[in-house]
Amino acid sequence: MRALSRRLVPRTLRCQLTAGLVTLLALACLAVGVTTVLALEGFLRGRLDQQLTSSGGRFAASLEHEAKPDADNVFDTRGQAESTFGARLLNGVVTQAAVVHDAADHRVPLTPADRHALASVPVDGHGHDIHLDRLRAYRVIAVHGDDQDVLITGLPLHPIEETLHRLEAVEAVVFGVALVATGIAGALWVRLSLRPLRRVTVQAANVAQLPLASGEIAMPEPLADADPATEVGTVGNALNHMLGHIEDALKRRHASEERLRHFAADASHELRTPLANIRGHAELALRHQGSVPPAVHHALERIDAESQRMTGLVDDLLLLARLDAGRPLERESVDLTLLVLNALDDARAAGPGHRWLLDLPEEPVTVTGDAHRLQQAIGNLLANARTHTPPGTEVTVALSTEGAGAVLTVTDDGPGIPPELQPEVFGRFVRADHARSRSTGSTGLGLAIVHAVVTGHQGTVDVTSRPGHTVFRITLPG
């Protein structure tokens, strides 16, 4: 019931305004119709009372005496309207009752209820409504006669009722046509009046579809003809100001991001040379044939290992900076099947404690892209599975086709990714275990590179994870 009422209630502003206009007009028509009917009814009853008073009760007075036998029981009907009713009461008992018909009188048989109704009419010279079984509704006036009796004269009410019913029918038709015409015209007028608001809505929808997360954004042109004297114009001006602030903020953010990218790229590029020198000197010292104290030898080994790790970090940062800058990738036919086989061989060598399974289609799967970057993305996914799952974990690499593209999934039965970490797992420097990741050599950039490479190929990458089942899924276009 609540859902039905919710559907029946207009929800759009245009429908609400039109419905409100029609409802107000309907209430006005109802008030006019009721007032007109009541006023006309009062007027017609007043005229009927005047007619009864002006008749002087002659017809009822003629009922005071019995008509002569040779007069065929004819009473005084001169000047009486058709269906005029007359009755004589003596000591509260009806002695005579007749009605004028075809300029002659006809006696009216009365039921006990009719006699009681006539006896109950106040003798005050004012009109009163009664209902007689044979004659239906009548308007009657009771006056005192000359013989201590009561004379009642009445006229039928059905002409008034017919007039009122005819008026009600005419009003219903006229008001109905007026409501329909007003509803149509009002809907068109409201639609015309709300066109500026429609432009505001379209503008807001266009802005909502813009990729505001990153990059340089071209904001739409501001709304024109936003009249501040109108409510819709005020909203349009407010939207224009808001879009201006948003555009300024996005430009500043983009400039800041560009500065950070340039800094990361420049810093990474500049760090490669001193790191190469450090590694070279460390390797040269380790190859020294002379006697080297064990502590010094261990320190040199640590210097070499850390310089290698730092070199990898610098290379990753430089790669991300280049991808962020929109450097074009190679566009050639790539055999994904071969890349997966090579990456799995490397993973088996690096993680012999894991169980590596492979699921490949019978035919090679090829896509168009950069083989070197795709090899790096696949290798990072397998390295992530190896690094963040314990020995004995089963890792399955599956490759399939989907339309003209390809789908690569890496599934493991490890402990899974915490739910709070899953939305940002492809972010930079994101680590599931901050205390562990440095000891394991993780930089927190592996999945970020996967995301950047796949996005650069116009593909998608996502993850679903729960304890015992984690799936990374890459989709690449053909």
CATH number at residue 391: 3.30.565.10
The residue type at 324: D
- Strands in 128-132's sheet, in edge-to-edge order, are 104-107, 93-101, 85-90, 150-156, 136-144, 128-132
**pLDDT of amino acid 185:** 92
Measured in degrees and rounded to the nearest 5, phi and psi for residue 96 equal -140, 145
| Domain end (from 279, 297, 327) | 327
Total count of domains within the chain = 4
What CA–CA distance (Å, rounded) separates 459 from 230? 47
- Asked if 445 and 375 sit in the same domain, the reply is yes
What CA–CA distance (Å, rounded) separates 421 from 97? 101
Token representation of residue 38: 């009541």
Task: Judge whether 35 lies within some domain.
Answer: yes
- Asked if 224 and 348 sit in the same domain, the reply is no
Token representation of residue 251: 């430009």
- Asked if 418 and 375 sit in the same domain, the reply is yes
Please, what sign has the CA dihedral across residues 462, 466, 467, 471?
A: negative
| Domain end (from 291, 310, 327) | 327
- Asked if 147 and 289 sit in the same domain, the reply is no
Token representation of residue 333: 């036919």
- Asked if 170 and 23 sit in the same domain, the reply is yes
Cβ contacts of residue 429 below 8 Å, gap of 6+?
443, 444, 445, 448
**106 and 135 in contact (C-beta within 8 Å)?**
no
How many degrees, rounded to 5, is the angle at CA 185 between CA 181 and CA 186? 110
Task: Judge whether 82 lies within some domain.
Answer: yes
Domain CATH number, residue 252: 1.10.287.130
For the chain, the residue count is 478
- Asked if 348 and 438 sit in the same domain, the reply is yes
- Asked if 37 and 170 sit in the same domain, the reply is yes
**pLDDT of amino acid 260:** 65
Task: Judge whether 261 lies within some domain.
Answer: yes
- Asked if 289 and 235 sit in the same domain, the reply is yes
Q: Which domain holds residue 148?
A: 55-156
- Asked if 96 and 20 sit in the same domain, the reply is no
**110 and 94 in contact (C-beta within 8 Å)?**
yes
Task: Judge whether 1 lies within some domain.
Answer: no
Task: Judge whether 2 lies within some domain.
Answer: no
Token representation of residue 105: 């009188």
Half-sphere exposure of 113 (CA within 13 A, CB side): 7
* Coil vs helix vs strand at 466: strand
What CA–CA distance (Å, rounded) separates 268 from 275? 10
Domain CATH number, residue 60: 3.30.450
Interstrand relation of 366-369 and 128-132 (parallel, antiparallel or unpaired)? unpaired
pTM: 0.48
DSSP strands (E only) in 325-459: 332-335, 355-359, 366-369, 394-402, 405-412
Nearest CA to 106 out of 153, 73, 60, 81 is that of 73
Q: DSSP secondary-structure letter at 141?
A: E
Task: Judge whether 200 lies within some domain.
Answer: no
Tell me which residues of the chain have a pLDDT lower than 70.
1-11, 56-57, 64-79, 103-105, 213-216, 225-227, 257, 260-270, 272, 322, 324-327, 430-443
What CA–CA distance (Å, rounded) separates 227 from 161? 56
**pLDDT of amino acid 249:** 80
- Asked if 472 and 356 sit in the same domain, the reply is yes
- Asked if 240 and 312 sit in the same domain, the reply is yes
Task: Judge whether 5 lies within some domain.
Answer: no
* Region at 62 (left for phi over 0; alpha for psi -120 to 50; beta for the rest): alpha
**140 and 123 in contact (C-beta within 8 Å)?**
no
**pLDDT of amino acid 435:** 38
Q: DSSP secondary-structure letter at 293?
A: -
- Asked if 315 and 277 sit in the same domain, the reply is yes
Q: Give, to the nearest 10 degrees, the angle between helix 371-387 and helix 446-456.
A: 150
Half-sphere exposure of 117 (CA within 13 A, CB side): 20
Nearest CA to 386 out of 408, 353, 418, 416 is that of 353
Task: Judge whether 4 lies within some domain.
Answer: no
| Domain end (from 307, 327, 347) | 327
